[in-house]
Homo-oligomer: A and B are copies of this chain.
């Protein structure tokens, strides 16, 4: 074996080489030459039919294929092509398995022709996966050079190349076509997607900026419509950040709703703050389709951590009734907006997006109040502690497999393993976390006094990050996502607008509260950010996926009118 550099370079080449030559771009423009590679730019490489297919969302694809208008094979081929382009422009893929995908798609077309019905609700729909899912026939590197050619770093493990994660089994049973795995930052613990294999995943809308992380490959790929929908994971914001930075919808479900079974993880077994799996998609309908489809597989019979909770139509109906009642002026929904988390203020375009949501919701007849919750700083500290329990032992041992260095973005893990938390220290953190959750819950309940609806707020709208995205090494504050992980709440990301340098000027009157606030606010440059996506998250209580998806759809539709 060569050095980590050689192994990483070989893997990097292998990914590129897996792309058919007919789909290679040459030369690839620099970001100075072509900042935004979405839309017209990428269209030049695609046929009209390919554009039509790849710009159809997961719901539309499922309908077109089940009705026989499109074949699963042609849909799959179109997405394989566009994903190949996306990778060349943003470094968003770790694995491709286009031949297997086309073979599966062929089987699905044959099945439909033979039986006159689909295999399942995702029949023929291409679904991309963060490189944290085990899929037969390809590596799961999770960004670690030392995992290449192994099973989670173990050489000659019999599971290598054959084992599949539980959700992969379920997606196949639902008729989904799997065709690629997407890039992640090594360790998964970064809002930027950087590793020693693909190096850096860029934001396709604005290649000055990151695609977010840790599901940053998903974000870039779906943002470029190289996939209609895919799955990421989120332990501190890793679904929501890439969704937000790429103008996508995405959901961070509560822990125990969707099956994480059979997936590797960083610091696996840390169970104070569980990572969760959830979809990102070009539309809210796509997100909903995937959540509902997975729940139809009774994942609680196959993953010991999943709660026995099927998709609840009655929650949707209740929510739908509330929306209708509000529209007719008979009743109201109520929302809260959090415009500052008490630690770091928002960049001007993010503050504008939040205000836009508040204004439009009020205009639509809903009550909007200000959110004044228990300390987010305290909650984020407790979450952060859980990341430090093992002192970086797991991370550093994974890096040591190849000798590769940690990216600068992972500064939180230091140069070498540190002292671990003791059992009593972990227990104390768990108690503090539970107490903070209880305070937060009581605060949420208390808003019944303010909403005028007879109920506490239906959702809280806030930023996903202080910035629309971040330039390399610029993702330095995680508080806006971490509080949701600390609370284990449901959160849905909703794209709102784009940075407009003429509207979103620097706020010279801004008074920073502290050094990090100052650094972040000073990092806003309208010229660099211009054109980037700006999104918000709509946060609901624990295990409120059905309700929050419907409210997100409602807000999304208001934003479009």
- Which residues 255-314 in A have Cβ within 8 Å of B in the complex? 256, 261, 267-272, 300-305, 307-309
Q: Are A423 and B307 touching (Cβ within 8 A)?
A: no
Q: A422: which B residues are within 8 A, CB to CB?
A: 390, 420-423
A445-B302 Cα distance, complex, nearest whole Å: 9
Q: Which of A176-184, A425-433, A474-482 contacts the other chain? A: A425-433
A424 contact from B303, B394, B445, Cβ within 8 A = B394
Known contacts A422-B420, A422-B422, A438-B261; is-contact A427 B390 (Cβ 8 Å): yes
Q: A543: which B residues are within 8 A, CB to CB?
A: 300, 307-308
Q: A172 interface residue, CB < 8 Å from B? A: no
Q: A424: which B residues are within 8 A, CB to CB?
A: 390, 393-394, 420
Q: Are B309 and A427 touching (Cβ within 8 A)?
A: no
A544-B300 Cα distance, complex, nearest whole Å: 12
Q: A542 interface residue, CB < 8 Å from B? A: yes
Q: Are B267 and A304 touching (Cβ within 8 A)?
A: no
Q: Are B267 and A427 touching (Cβ within 8 A)?
A: yes
Considering only CB atoms, which chain B residue lies closest to A421 in the complex? B423
Q: A426: which B residues are within 8 A, CB to CB?
A: 269, 389, 423, 426
Q: A390: which B residues are within 8 A, CB to CB?
A: 422-424, 427
Q: A124 interface residue, CB < 8 Å from B? A: no
Q: A541-556, CB under 8 A of B: which get 1 and which 0?
A: 1111000000000000
How far, in Å, is A495 (CB) from chain B's closest CB?
A: 28
Q: A270: which B residues are within 8 A, CB to CB?
A: 423, 427, 430
Q: A35: which B residues are within 8 A, CB to CB?
A: none
Q: Are B430 and A304 touching (Cβ within 8 A)?
A: no
A542-B299 Cα distance, complex, nearest whole Å: 13
Known contacts A394-B424, A438-B261; is-contact A431 B268 (Cβ 8 Å): yes
Number of copies: 2
A303 contact from B300, B303, B438, Cβ within 8 A = B438
Q: A307: which B residues are within 8 A, CB to CB?
A: 256, 307, 309, 543
Q: A272: which B residues are within 8 A, CB to CB?
A: 271
Considering only CB atoms, which chain B residue lies closest to A417 in the complex? B424
How far, in Å, is A446 (CB) from chain B's closest CB?
A: 11
Q: A437 interface residue, CB < 8 Å from B? A: yes
Considering only CB atoms, which chain B residue lies closest to A440 in the complex? B304
Q: A434 interface residue, CB < 8 Å from B? A: yes
Q: A391 interface residue, CB < 8 Å from B? A: yes
Q: A428: which B residues are within 8 A, CB to CB?
A: 269
Q: A505 interface residue, CB < 8 Å from B? A: no
Q: A441: which B residues are within 8 A, CB to CB?
A: 301-304
Q: A271: which B residues are within 8 A, CB to CB?
A: 271-272, 427, 430
A542-B309 Cα distance, complex, nearest whole Å: 11
A427 contact from B268, B440, B544, Cβ within 8 A = B268
How far, in Å, is A358 (CB) from chain B's closest CB?
A: 25
Q: A542: which B residues are within 8 A, CB to CB?
A: 300, 304, 308
Q: Are B423 and A304 touching (Cβ within 8 A)?
A: no
Considering only CB atoms, which chain B residue lies closest to A269 in the complex? B427
- Which residues 358-403 in A have Cβ within 8 Å of B in the complex? 389-391, 393-394
A124-B420 Cα distance, complex, nearest whole Å: 52
Considering only CB atoms, which chain B residue lies closest to A390 in the complex? B423
Considering only CB atoms, which chain B residue lies closest to A434 in the complex? B304
A269-B307 Cα distance, complex, nearest whole Å: 21
Q: A300: which B residues are within 8 A, CB to CB?
A: 542-543
How far, in Å, is A363 (CB) from chain B's closest CB?
A: 30
Question: Of A300, A427, A438, which is in contact with the most chain B CB atoms at under 10 Å from its CB?
Answer: A427
A114-B1 Cα distance, complex, nearest whole Å: 86
Known contacts A304-B488, A307-B543; 17 additional CB pairs below 8 A are: A268-B427, A269-B430, A270-B430, A271-B272, A301-B441, A303-B438, A304-B434, A304-B441, A305-B434, A308-B541, A390-B422, A390-B427, A394-B427, A420-B423, A421-B422, A422-B423, A423-B426
Give the interface of A toward B (CB within 8 A): 256, 261, 267-272, 300-305, 307-309, 389-391, 393-394, 420-424, 426-431, 434, 437-438, 440-442, 445, 487-488, 541-544
10 shortest A-B CB distances, which residue pairs? A269-B427, A304-B437, A389-B423, A269-B430, A269-B431, A390-B423, A420-B423, A420-B422, A421-B423, A308-B543
